[in-house]
Every structure is written in C-alpha cells, then in structure tokens.
C-alpha cells in the first residue's frame, strides 16, 4: 500500500518516513510505502491528474491542501477513486514549518498507518495542529 506525501510538503518527508516505516513492514501483513507525489507524478501536476493515478494504486494521501476537500469535483474524484485522505490543517496560511510538520507526522504516524492499512476507502481525516485526527 502506498501513502503519498503531497507536493505542498517536502518530498524529503516521504523518503524519511519510508525509511522509518521499512522495519515495521516485516512485522505487518501489508507493507506501507511512502512516496512523494512530486517525485512520482512530476512537479506541478494538477490534482485532477494525480488523484486518479493514486486511486488506481489504492493509495492514501497526506496533504495540507484542504481545498481538495472543498472543491466539489476534486472531492468527488477522491471518492470515485477510493482514496484515503489525511488533511493537515496548519495554524496559519503559511502552513507548518518543516520541523513542525516532522514532529506532527511522527506524533500521528501510528494512527495514520493503522487507518491507512485497515479502514475501508474512501475516507477523510483532518489533523489539527494539536495532533488530533478527526474523521470528516
């Protein structure tokens, strides 16, 4: 199973979390691969283009772009392609700093990976700055 990190987050997060997840994959029935949307589909790829491709791979996505949920046709695409979505809600329009995002991902990774591996898709969760996952 693949978890994509959206291009509004540093692609290094995908590489780092993929390395951190690797030892856990030997203990699980299903492995998690963490990849960057930017590296997989190209920088600047339109949401309407990567959503179907990620859906074909039965993936989940971590993003700060809450507009995907707000924009009706994008939300419907996510539902049509059975994506699991994790929306990080930053405390300001600037988004999270790099290290704040790292800390938040580390804090929530066990919950994210458990949901990604077990919950029926499509699904959407919002992650607050305090590290609480809330189903949408």
| The total number of structural domains that make up the chain | 1
The reported pTM is: 0.91
Q: Show the tokens assigned to 76.
A: 């419907």
The structure tokens 């507009």 sit at: 67
How confident is the prediction along the chain (136 residues), in pLDDT tens digits per residue? Answer: 999 999 988 899 999 999 999 988 887 777 899 999 999 999 999 999 999 999 999 999 999 888 899 999 999 999 999 999 999 887 777 777 889 889 999 999 999 999 999 999 999 999 987 788 999 9
CA distances 66 to 16, 27, 30, 75, Å, are 24, 33, 28, 10
**Domain span at 96:** 2-135
Token pair for 91? 């405390």
């Amino acid at each position: 199973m693949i978890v994509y990190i959206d291009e509004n987050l540093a692609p290094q997060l995908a590489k780092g979390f993929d390395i951190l997840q690797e030892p856990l994959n030997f203990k699980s029935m299903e492995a998690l691969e963490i990849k960057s949307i930017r590296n997989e589909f190209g920088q600047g790829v339109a949401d309407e283009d990567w959503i179907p491709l990620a859906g074909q791979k039965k993936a989940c996505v971590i993003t700060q772009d809450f507009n995907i949920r707000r924009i009706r046709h994008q939300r419907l695409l996510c539902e049509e392609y059975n994506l699991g979505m994790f929306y990080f809600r930053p405390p300001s329009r600037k988004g999270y700093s790099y290290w704040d995002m790292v800390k938040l991902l580390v804090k929530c990774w066990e919950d994210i990976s458990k949901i990604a591996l077990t919950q029926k898709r499509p699904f959407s969760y919002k992650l607050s700055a305090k590290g609480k996952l809330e189903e949408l």
